Structure 1
Amino acid sequence: MIRNKWLWAALFIVPAVELFGFIYVASYLGAPKTMLIVLATSVIGLLMMRFEGKKVLQDSKIQMQEGRVPGRTMLDGLCIFFGGLLLILPGFVTDLIGFTLVFPLTRPLYRGFLLKWIEKKMKNGTFTFYRR
């Protein structure tokens, strides 16, 4: 039940913050430039996501061919995926978080939190995985 409350809160808070960001930036730059910036960040972000995603896929293939489990690489792939989703959404805050998820130098910050979250879920038994 708590998860649903957070989801509902995010559904209302995120658009409100993004709308405030649009209004704030547009008051300084004007609406056309603001829309151009939002469009440009989305395109640049999607190109970065595509490039980084290909790199992660290549790294994971190499690791699997060497007989290693691509654990860190899989977490990088998750970060890139969620960063790409955030970059698709219009807005400055979601773009900022999306860029930091996709950019390789800032991705380790999220990887640590993601690893702790997965470990907690596995200990609780709410996160399970199946083997073939």
Structure 2
Amino acid sequence: MMRLRTPYQALYLFSGILCGLSVLSGCSTSDKQGGTRQINHVVLFHLQDPADASALQKDCAAWLKPLPEVSYYACGPHVDVGRTNVTDDYALGLIVSFENQSEYDAYLKAPAHVMLVEKWKPEFSGLTIYDIGNGTLD
């Protein structure tokens, strides 16, 4: 275990940890443009066969993540964090974010998005979709 002999060593160590965390947090997103995401498109997939979630996740990653309109991408199953009031009734969740309305509109018409929906629509038992903005309510 490292022993800190002076207050300055503790300050340097703390500063180093903060710098490291700020670098890591910058690497943890898929922000392609570096701007503020204005529209966050959240889709919760309800599948007839929940075992198909892995294949759907792979298709989402292959077809949606590379789209130039998408500034942020996340896709995965429900995470059980031990809270009973968190909804877990979906097989897979998707979040794709866009800088503006025109990029969101282009995404909806993108051949990869259209093909994914056409391929998987027969497998859905339902969808829950939210479009969430980053603006204020003022």
What is the TM-score with the length of structure 2 in the denominator?
Answer: 0.29
What is the TM-score with the length of structure 1 in the denominator?
Answer: 0.30
Q: Which has the higher helix share?
A: 1
Q: Which of these two proteins has the greater Rg computed from alpha carbons?
A: 2
Q: Which has the higher strand share?
A: 2
Return the structure number with greater relative CO, CA threshold 8 A, min gap 6. 2
